[in-house]
């Protein structure tokens, strides 16, 4: 197939780019490894921590919804990748509104908070259909929402990332942050599942 590259070909091309950046003095192997390690170290546990804190701390929840980039700093998290910070917003599910994320152009996604994106998130089928028929797509994921629930689709981009703040599950009033965090899934943070 024309334009198709094997994983090994892509790895070689990525390494060549890394070497050019290193030769230009813009980074080092250690810095690259550190960035990758930092991005993948706690995710999607990082997103789950953010949600759990928002569920138990209404003041934090308010700050998170008002300025998510700023609120992340309270948990020693950031949407920075080197000198650049991506605009980050958290959208809250309510009993009448359900949010779902997509990147219609490619697969932009907050890896540092949600972990590596699922393969279906990158698929053309998901990217096209969730915008046109979100209720049907969510049903295929097993999420049946009442007809009166409004579904809002948020399109991420290279400059802007989003995360869903799911509804707190009923019967969890006595749970602390660690136990609540364990309930949060990557799909819940994308909006394709309830928590």
Residue 87 CB neighbours (<10 A): 12
What's the domain range around 53?
42-190
Catalytic residues: 103, 106-108
Can you give the pLDDT at residue 155?
94
Can you give the pLDDT at residue 93?
98
Assess whether 75 and 156 both reside in one domain: yes
Q: Exposed, middle or buried: residue 119 (CB in 10 Å: 0-12, 13-18, 19+)? A: exposed
Assess whether 26 and 61 both reside in one domain: no
CA distance between the termini of the chain: 41
The total domain count for the chain is: 2
Assess whether 162 and 180 both reside in one domain: yes
Residue 162: CATH number of its domain: 3.90.330.10
Domain presence at residue 186? yes
Assess whether 80 and 17 both reside in one domain: no
Can you give the pLDDT at residue 10?
61
User: Per residue of the chain (195 residues), what is the pLDDT tens digit?
Assistant: 334 444 456 656 777 887 888 889 888 877 876 666 555 555 578 999 999 999 999 999 999 999 999 999 999 998 876 666 688 999 999 999 999 999 988 878 888 888 888 888 988 899 999 999 999 999 999 999 999 999 999 999 888 899 999 999 999 999 999 999 999 999 999 999 999
Can you give the pLDDT at residue 83?
61
pTM score of the predicted model: 0.78
Assess whether 119 and 184 both reside in one domain: yes
Residue 22 CB neighbours (<10 A): 14
């Amino acid at each position: 197939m024309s334009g198709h590259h094997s994983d090994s070909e892509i790895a070689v091309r990525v390494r060549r780019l890394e070497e050019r950046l290193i030769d230009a003095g813009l980074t080092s192997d250690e810095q690259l490894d550190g960035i990758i390690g930092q991005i993948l170290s706690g995710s999607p546990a990082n997103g789950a921590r953010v949600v759990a804190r928002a569920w138990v701390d209404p003041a934090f929840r308010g700050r998170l919804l008002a300025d998510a980039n700023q609120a992340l700093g309270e948990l020693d998290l950031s949407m920075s990748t080197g000198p650049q910070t991506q605009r980050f917003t958290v959208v809250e599910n309510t009993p009448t509104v359900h949010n779902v994320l997509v990147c219609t152009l490619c697969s932009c996604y907050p890896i540092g908070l949600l972990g590596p994106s699922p393969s279906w998130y990158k698929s053309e089928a998901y990217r096209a259909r969730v915008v046109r028929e979100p209720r049907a797509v969510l049903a295929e994921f097993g999420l049946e929402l009442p007809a009166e629930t409004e579904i809002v689709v948020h399109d991420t981009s290279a400059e802007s990332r989003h995360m869903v703040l799911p509804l707190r599950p009923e019967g969890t009033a006595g749970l602390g942050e660690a136990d609540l965090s364990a309930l949060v899934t990557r799909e819940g943070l994308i909006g394709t599942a309830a928590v």
